[in-house]
Amino acid sequence: MGRMLTYMGFEAFDAPNMYQMTYAYDVVSANTGSGPQDIYDAYDYGASVDYGTDAFSIGLWSSLEEGAGYEVALAFTGVENFTAKAIWSDFGDATADPYEKSTFWVSYQVGATLLAAEVAESDQTTGGDDIDGVMVMANYAMSDAAAITVRYSEQEISDQAGAVQYDGSKFTISPSYMFTDSFIGLVEYSSYDADTISATYAEPEEFMGAEFIFTF
């Protein structure tokens, strides 16, 4: 019980646990008031129960806040180095902007390379925009200290009438270096390609950045 992260999504919410700096789905909208992550939820106050074996696990989570919701997470880990997860959520009531979300992802470790793919969806049931996203990613460990991440993602955003407000893709490359067990640095370059964009969405710009993380 307490303040905890959502089960949702392949990508982590907190910077020390990410393979790069930015998120796969991060187009800014005046309609949704979106933050850095358009599809996944972040933290909430709730209670969870989890059960797992060597091959399967299930997690059940319920919010303890007003307009309570729930999440269900199923995972398969019965093949060495392979993980598959399906997560569903249902939040809110008629007075609390209800929505439903789902993410389905797989990852596989092949030697020094981690491969991952995801399909994610956010449906606003009474208002706002619906979002569909897909992502593929590879992280290659060039040595014990150096690695590089390459990611490609697509995002389609539609209003309640079904009209497409944004349809575009994002490409990210992010090399990293672990100086010590607790100190890591990385740089990132990301570019966007928008096929459709309405007046309510800002044109995504190229991103370049550097980040240093110290964990303790």
- Domains of the chain, with CATH numbers? 2-214 (2.40.160.10)
Residue 19: closest CA among 176, 197, 216, 142:
176
Residue 147: closest CA among 13, 15, 3, 18:
18
Q: Which two tokens stand for residue 26?
A: 């991060």
Rg (CA), the chain: 18
Whether the full predicted model's pTM is greater than 0.85, yes or no, is yes
Cβ neighbours for 52, distance < 8 A, ≥ 6 positions apart:
58, 75
| pLDDT per residue rounded down to tens, the chain (216 residues) | 998 888 999 998 888 889 999 999 988 665 444 446 788 888 888 999 999 999 999 999 998 877 678 899 999 999 999 999 999 998 876 556 788 889 999 999 999 999 999 999 988 877 778 889 999 999 999 999 999 999 999 999 888 788 888 899 999 999 999 999 999 999 999 999 988 888 777 778 889 999 999 988
* DSSP tag of 201: B
Chain-centroid distance of CA 92 in Å reads 21
